[in-house]
Amino acid sequence: MGLSWGNSVRNFQNLTKRTAIDVEKSTMKIVDLTAKDVKRYAEQATPVKSGKLKRSWKILKRGRGKNRKVEILNRLDYASLVENGTSKMPPKRMLAKAVIRGDRLLKRRLEALKRLTSNKFNRGA
């Protein structure tokens, strides 16, 4: 069970260096920060009996640049049963809820970077 963001960096590839902002590096920081937030949100939404499921959320990073992939996952066998529910247990949707919050947060952060970059570009920085 996991989540991936792949296209975030591609949206900023064509900006000029005149802005004096390393857009790719800034985007990577935003994606990493958002992944940490999504992991934290998933942990907060995870029901606790022994605490093992809650402690098992991980962030996995692979690749570089526009091939970079960040995943939030839980490799415990029963994580998907808790997430999606069973015939005897309703779904908890810990990751689904975390992803919704994370997507909103990622969009706000990328928009803020876009505004900052546009402002510097328009001022001729």
Tell me the mean pLDDT per 10 residues along the chain, length 125.
51 52 83 96 96 97 84 95 96 96 95 84 59
Torsion of CA 89, 94, 99, 100, to 10 degrees: 70
What per-residue confidence (pLDDT) applies to 16?
A: 44
Record the pTM.
0.79
What is the residue range of 7's domain?
2-11+22-122
For position 22, what pLDDT does the model report?
Answer: 78
In a domain, 38, yes or no: yes
Q: Which residue has the tokens 């809650």?
A: 54
Q: Is 96 within a domain?
A: yes
String of b and e for 97-110 (b: at least 16 CB within 10 Å)?
bbbebbeebbeebb
Residue 17, in any domain of the structure: no
Query: In this structure, which amino acid lies at residue 113?
Result: L
Q: What is the pLDDT of residue 125?
A: 47
- Number of folded domains that form the chain: 1
Q: Does 30 fall in a domain?
A: yes
pLDDT value at residue 66: 74
The predicted structure's pLDDT at residue 60: 95
Place of tokens 């947060």: 105
Residue 23's pLDDT is what? 77
- For position 112, what pLDDT does the model report? 93
Instruction: Determine the longest span between alpha carbons in the chain, in angstroms.
Output: 62
* Lateral strand order in the sheet of 69-74: 2-5, 69-74, 57-62
Task: Yes or no: say if 56 and 74 are a contact pair by the CB < 8 Å rule.
Answer: yes
DSSP E strands in 6-117: the ranges are 57-62, 69-74
> Do the domain assignments include residue 16?
no
